[in-house]
Amino acid sequence: MEKTKEILSLDTGDIKSRIYTIRGKQVMLDSDLAELYQISTKAFNQSVNRNVERFPERFRFRLTKEEYTSLRSQFVTSNGRGGRRYMPFVFTEQGVAMLSAVLKSDIALKISISIMDAFVEMRHFIANNAALFDRISKVELKQLEADKKFDKIFEYIGDQKETRQKIFYDGQIYDAFSLLIELVQKAEQEIILIDGYVDVSTLNLLAKKNAGVSVTIYTFTKTKLTARDVATFNGQYPQLEVKHTNIFHDRFLILDGKTVYHIGASLKDAGKKCFAVSEMKDAGRSLMKKLAGVK
């Protein structure tokens, strides 16, 4: 019974961190899948090989030495992935779906469902940020796909010191979007966004928040967000509340009621023109007091 409870609480985020893009496909390593299914990599591949006719190349393929070398450079740790005599197999989404039929157990079925959910979330991630991907040059996008995990694609690349201030120039959409995601993910309990011009693309950015973090948006009355947009967001990333006010001109991002960032452009327009992001010391209390009067 304890094992079943552990399986049911399988972290989708952990699964997504094991999904890579190789040959233009989203795949998972045989060793990662074996770990999730709680069997050895050898036993896992033996089960698959006994049913090899169920796994054509579009379901499973073996990595080349060059592909595996590139992939290993991305691992935070090589535990469980090093010292292999043969190049590993990777499984596409269709291959993962087939595993539940091959491994044949209730636990395997539950694990497969969790993994499939992670693949679906990754597809939504790509679809929701399609406009941003279009702005990245084909050469840069190809490099990102080859070298980065999808759940790290918007991780800020640059100075890893605590963010105090940053200026972005027109066209730096990727860098601006990356930094804003980094800020959003710093919140542990609450995010407050003051931005007169918000739309669905703003919600796509706020969706990168940590689970359990609430969001309140203060925006102009004539917002482009609809009640349906808010309901859709809350169905997947609760809890979002939108309030209307015209008392603010500038944009502010408040994290956990204390850390305040002044943002020189609406989040949906970040990087289109020159703007700055800067942390405001000791501004949290006064801003929170001002917001208390907004219904």
pLDDT over 60 (residue 160): no
Among 149, 32, 13, 150, smallest CA distance to 99 is for 32
Peptide bond into 239 cis (omega under 30): yes
pLDDT-derived band at 156 (thresholds 50, 70, 90) equals very low
pLDDT-derived band at 69 (thresholds 50, 70, 90) equals confident
> Per the structure, how many domains does the chain have?
2
pLDDT given for residue 158 in this prediction = 43
Q: How far apart are CA 237 and CA 294, in angstroms?
A: 24
CA 28 vs CA 36, 71, 130, 149: distances in Å? 11, 11, 23, 11
Domain that holds residue 178: 154-291
Would residue 147 count as lying in a domain?
no
Enter the pTM of the model.
0.46
Q: How far apart are CA 19 and CA 171, in angstroms?
A: 29
pLDDT over 60 (residue 131): no
In single-letter form, the type of residue at position 221 comes to: T
Would residue 40 count as lying in a domain?
yes
Q: Does 158 share its domain with 242?
A: yes
pLDDT over 70 (residue 83): no
Q: Using one digit for the tens of pLDDT, what is the confidence trace for 203-223?
A: 988 999 999 999 999 999 888
Instruction: Take residue 178 and report the two structure tokens written for it.
Output: 């990356």
On average, the pLDDT of the chain sits at 78
pLDDT-derived band at 195 (thresholds 50, 70, 90) equals very high
Q: Does 114 share its domain with 217?
A: no
Starting at the edge strand found earlier in the chain, the sheet holding 60-62 runs: 20-22, 25-29, 89-91, 60-62
Would residue 58 count as lying in a domain?
yes
pLDDT over 70 (residue 268): yes
What's the CATH number where 244 sits? 3.30.870.10
